[in-house]
Chain A
Amino acid sequence: MSDAYIKGASGDDWEMVIGLEVHAQIRSEAKLFSKAPTAFGALPNSQVSLVDAAMPGMLPVLNRFCVEQGVRAGLGLHGRINLVSVFERKNYFYPDLPQGYQISQYLHPLVSGGEVVIRPEGGEEMTVRIERLHLEQDAGKSMHETGDVSLVDLNRSGIALMEIVSHPDMRSPAQAQAYVRELRLLLRYLAVCDGNMEEGSLRADVNLSMRRPGEDLGTRCEIKNLNSIRFIGQAIEFEAARQVELLEAGESIKQETRLFDIHTGETRSMRSKEEAHDYRYFPDPDLPPLCLTQEWVDSIESNLPELPQDKRTRLIRQYKLDPYDADVLTANRDNADFFEQVAQGRDAKLVANWVTGDFFAALNKSKQSINESKITPESLGELLDLVAKGDISGRIAKEVFVIMFESGTPPNKIIEEKNWKQISDINALEKYVDDVIAANPDKVEQARSKPQLIGWFIAQVLKASKNQANPKIVSELFQKKLNS
């Protein structure tokens, strides 16, 4: 782990202590306490119910679907589902918070405990412990226009969030990034959050403190609202350096909330501990405690999909994949499903090479997801079967694939249209071979003493046949004829 330490100007080693609070928007058509829709990118204030706008006398009604998603996430994190949890009010004034309080869970969250296994880039596999997962509402969005005008969009107001709080178990930006990646993957597998960080569906607050190795925890700062994995890394690096500089100069760290400026890559103070709100949490009297039955939780658990970590292990075992391919394939549930569909009854290693190689490259280039592609598991499987049967060569297959990717035409049809079917008919091939031999008596003579010249002969036949000749049979024919 020593490579995770950073060195101060003094030459001392410093260790980062990092914990994350991730806010994940629950994939739900309606909000946490109202029936208003949640689609991203709608016209401002077009998805606001009377409850979201906190009109007088309006009351929150808990969305059962959102609770179910929270339970799914909790089970996926291997946490403990609390059969009784309590919604509380977090009171503060802000123009995009129409109620004057956020309904959240505080003393009694929906989920306690849990863990996420991560594989940081260039590091060892490790476990990050989860402290809790709770449900809460999102606030609206303030837009500060030029002049003295501010606008408020309440479309987000009341949208269901899961706040997932980790223990301070991470020691490097790479670990924090791997944690968010793995958590996002888990939530996507469970289909409880779309994980689109650029749309704000997943945001992270980073808590960071520095200490000399072996020392007690230092004072932490919280960096709010990071909405990309790259920014998480940059913010931690900047903040760690800032804190070390202060500590080595003999100054102390002020506990405070900081903001990350994506333009400068720096963090700056938002408010100090003294300025921190007294949120006056208390149980929301509009909402009775949330009581679940074990049977309901069990039924949710029995319907969980295979989780990424389990899928990865299984792919390695079942298909003899190497860990790298397994990682690449499980990084997206649809990719893994695609792979498995093609791999049924075929050479899994070959399928993995095709999927992670040509196919992913083409997807990347065209910025498509696997489900948007015209290539289906059936069509790719068909292509591979044609190679296996000897109907086409591997080289032709790659060309066929390019056309399939562009047009969605079935491989059979492409081969037929292009007349690319490999020639394996021995009589037809013999004619090509005889022609080459007849046209090049000098080379035939040389070949008697230089057997490696056979490659040149094969190339002539492939050229003449427009790559359709079966190279294996052609080679056999030359071996026979040139040596006789």
Chain B
Amino acid sequence: MSEITQWSLHRLREALRKKEVSAVEVARAHVDAVGKAGALNAVTTPTPERAIEMAEQSDKRLAGGEGGALEGIPLGVKDMFCTEGVASTACSNILEGFTPPYESDVTERLWQAGACLLGKLNCDEFAMGSSTETGSSGAVCNPWRGNGDARLTAGGSSGGSAAAVAARLMPVSLGTDTGGSVRQPAAFTGTVGLKPSYGRCSRYGIISYASSLDQAGILARSVTDSAILLGTIAGHDSRDSTSADIEVPDYESELKGGISKMRVGIPKEYSVDGMPGEIDDLWKQAAGWLEEQGAEIIEVSLPHTRHALPAYYIIAPAEASSNLARYDGIQYGKRAKANGVDELYGRTRAEGFGVEVKRRILMGSYVLSAGYYDAYYLKAQRVRALVARDFDNVFEKVDVLLAPTTPSAAFALGEKTDDVLALYLGDIFTVPVNLAGLPAISVPAKLNGEGLPLGMQLIGRRFDEATLLRAAKAVEDSAGFDAVPQAWWSP
């Protein structure tokens, strides 16, 4: 394994600027790493030629002293992002072969900043899942195996994005986070997972799952790297009516300054029955780290937390049922052989969608149906407003919240395939953040008794990613997490 692939984004950037390495060398090292990591199944569409080509352009710009913020940085993006000329399928058979003639806003910003595309990353079909097992490309395998040798989930739905960063196939990657799909895989793979505030990044060109919750997110190996990347992908886009027209701070420089006098809330409702003691202990330990660095720890209450998960599993499928109606076999993607248009719809969608997507379309259609709308969808929206109000209330008293990212470490692939509810329950700590549109980050904090990473989650005020990142940096500094998975997948 090349040493270059061990480098952080931050370090690569310095080395490229000082011309210690060329962008092509950097790209080659990562292309090689991707090529050897087939066992992880993290990359669904590798784009090695494009990566090298883009790196060559980067080298030219670097030579001319006109490199962008990410000049020569290779990375991958989740298959939910539309990338011009590169298959973009949301890991669904229904979009088999779909190659968009347009670029998502967020990825466009990456390329303009000089980043190079290594490939499209595996995920759950249409980002619906928490284990990256439901997509058309199959399951992603977690680079971490802990003390055993079972194949574990890398989490989901951005499992490919997390596994690729954890396995040093790329320094950073993009995921999407609708209910925890960046933070939970980050926690399972010992990486940093940042979900910005709703509206911070444009959704233009991101294949929609649940529009009011979807947000682009970042997987990285350090808080600093996630701050650098956020500075590039954040910003207003007139093509997305939900994108916020507000200033984007310099997140990297805002990392400095420490957390003295920062008020950190500990939401008591995040302590749930059946949660392993080691997670509870880690939580207390992390609070201690922050206190040592000058923060004030305050216990707070978010009383509607327990209603968030059921509300999420009404609202997200409701929006999905409508967002996925466009995949009908008429214009693009898969079209089944059929007689008549009704049969065409039925067969195309029956053959094109996987079981989890079908489940959510059915649930979503049901909760929006005449006679059920008030009892489900409308009530869920009321719950959503209450959950958001809980956060508003506590953010009058604290600056950030500290909680576990997940109630467990990574589990075995296939373990929860037949127990959907158990899988859904794993989203319990991440979902409320999406309902409230807040920014949150998962920071790797330690390895558990089985040698698997555990993450701590910090939640910030809407659009106050700067404070959130500073707190995350403090946790990172104290945790000193430097474990690296054994490269068992590399031949």
Contacts and interface: CB of A to CB of B under 8 A. Distances in A.
Interface string A423-447: 0000000000000000000000000
Contacts of A101: 322, 325
A299 B370 CA distance: 40
A100 B322 contact: yes
A11 interface: no
Interface stretch (B95-103, B158-166, B288-296, B416-424): B95-103
Interface in A35-50: 50
Interface residues of A, number: 29
A288 B241 contact: yes
Contacts of B241: 59-62, 286-288
A288 B242 contact: yes
B331 A53 contact: yes
B205 A286 contact: no
Interface stretch (B38-46, B208-216, B460-468, B482-490): B208-216
A214 interface: no
Contact of A282 (B104, B204, B322, B341): B322
A263 to B, nearest CB: 25
Contacts of A113: none
B318 A55 contact: no
Contacts of A91: 321-322, 325, 368
A277 B156 CA distance: 35
Contact of B369 (A62, A280, A285): A280
B391 interface: no
Interface in B315-365: 318-319, 321-322, 324-326, 328, 330-332, 341, 345, 365
A288 B212 CA distance: 10
Contacts of A57: 81-82, 100, 104, 203-208
B334 to A, nearest CB: 13
A218 interface: no
B365 A56 contact: no
Interface in A120-163: 150, 152
A89 B365 CA distance: 13
A54 B331 contact: yes
B22 interface: no
B90 interface: yes
A287 B205 CA distance: 16
A57 B331 CA distance: 15
Contacts of A59: 203-204, 239-241
A467 interface: no
Nearest to B326: A54
B373 interface: yes
A458 B223 CA distance: 109
Sorting the interface of chain B by its residue count into under 10, 10 to 19, 20 to 34 or 35 or more gives 35 or more
A100 B328 contact: yes
B332 A55 contact: yes
A224 to B, nearest CB: 19
Contacts of A282: 318, 322, 368, 373, 377
Nearest to B103: A57
A455 B82 CA distance: 91
Nearest to B208: A57
A280 to B, nearest CB: 4
A285 B319 contact: yes
A372 to B, nearest CB: 40
Interface string A410-430: 000000000000000000000
Nearest to B80: A57
A288 B199 CA distance: 11
Nearest to B349: A93
B238 interface: yes
Interface in A258-278: 278
A288 B241 CA distance: 7
A74 interface: no
Nearest to B243: A59
Given A57-B205, A91-B322, A285 B212 contact: yes
Interface string A91-116: 10101001111000000000000000
Interface string A56-71: 1111111000000000
B136 interface: no
Interface of B: 81-82, 88, 90, 95, 98, 100-102, 104, 203-208, 210-212, 238-242, 318-319, 321-322, 324-326, 328, 330-332, 341, 345, 365, 368-370, 373, 377
Interface of A: 50, 53-62, 89, 91, 93, 95, 98-101, 150, 152, 278, 280-282, 285-288
Given A59-B241, A278-B370, A282-B373, 20 more contacts: A54-B331, A56-B82, A56-B98, A56-B100, A57-B203, A57-B205, A57-B206, A57-B208, A89-B322, A91-B368, A95-B328, A95-B330, A95-B341, A98-B330, A98-B331, A100-B322, A101-B325, A285-B210, A286-B208, A287-B242
* Nearest 9 pairs of A and B residues by beta carbon: A100-B325, A285-B212, A285-B211, A280-B368, A57-B205, A54-B326, A56-B207, A57-B82, A57-B207
